[in-house]
Structure 1
């Protein structure tokens, strides 16, 4: 069973970002290390929610995407150039070992921290997906998910650690 290890300040950074973008969805990347015993977050990297009319056109195969519109209140997208930039930064980091993108986080304004069908259709099996529910501007429930072999989201355990 997969596990995601992260520090309290990582969760706080996600919650703060989610509250700052409310009522729109926030999004960002989780950089860290993959190991046999799970994934360890080293850095939380906020990104811009680039969901717009052009993003809608990029997802024609996903059921219901045509009626999504360009509203960032219920969709997010991370620009491919942002993904590449962050991946490159992680590989060039000053740390002794390189960092990889190991997950994505985003918020659900005024909705539960449960993945939508759109979230599932766009997800990649190697990543962890943290979703934070933001109710009336206040970050609340925060859950972590990963895809199983049938490309369905399953809860993924989060362990809060203090790394020195």
Structure 2
């Protein structure tokens, strides 16, 4: 289970709508507690997906680029990880949007995911944020749904 404030969930939705029709992305900071993860801060980031670099790395090419893929720049991840550590927090998840598609992970999402993180996906239909779901990888590297609870 992952617990969010309404404000943090709204930050994700607003970021997703602002980047439409491209995918948004961002980092979720918090900590582990009995019964799940507690979100303390949601940090929207730029979608740094670079089709040429990833195509070279993965041996594939996707013409749709940021409309169907996302990436957080490594230097941004490191900077936020350092800042989190200074606040006694951890990166506990990543969020991104699926423009004009359901909030279900793609195969690409699975290939780039890390165990232990929550992956929040928000569906954005015609520019309006809708369904929001959380996913985490199981021991066999397959996504399982994760309950989202609101913190008041």
Q: CA RMSD in A?
A: 1.1
Alignment partner of 2:65 out of 68, 71, 76: 71
**Secondary structure at the counterpart of residue 58 of structure 1:** helix
Aligned residue pairs total: 151
- Kept after mapping to 2: 8 A contact 1:56/1:70: no
Equivalent residue, structure 2, for 1:22:
20
- Kept after mapping to 2: 8 A contact 1:51/1:70: no
* Structure 1: unaligned runs, 5 residues or longer: 61-65
Distance 2:104 2:64 in 1: 21
Quick check: which one's helix share is greater? Answer: 2
TM-score by length of 2: 0.95
Equivalent residue, structure 2, for 1:36:
34
Runs of 4+ with deviation above 4 angstroms = none
After TM superposition, give the deviation of residue 37 of structure 1 in Å: 1.9
Distance 1:137 1:59 in 2: 30
Equivalent residue, structure 2, for 1:138:
128
Aligned 1:55-94 pairs, distance under 5 A: 55-60=54-59, 66-69=60-63, 71-93=65-87
TM-score by length of 1: 0.89
- Kept after mapping to 2: 8 A contact 1:55/1:77: no
**Secondary structure at the counterpart of residue 108 of structure 1:** strand
Equivalent residue, structure 2, for 1:149:
139
Deviations 1:18-47 (A, max 9, x none): 000000000000000012321111000011
Equivalent residue, structure 1, for 2:9:
11
With 121-130 and 33-42 compared, the bigger mean Cα shift is at 33-42
Equivalent residue, structure 2, for 1:63:
none
* Structure 2: unaligned runs, 5 residues or longer: none
Distance 1:5 1:45 in 2: 16
* Structure 1 residues 58 and 35: CA distance shift in structure 2, 3 A: farther
After TM superposition, give the deviation of residue 69 of structure 1 in Å: 3.5
Deviations 1:41-95 (A, max 9, x none): 10000111000122332333xxxxx1313620000001111110000011113xx
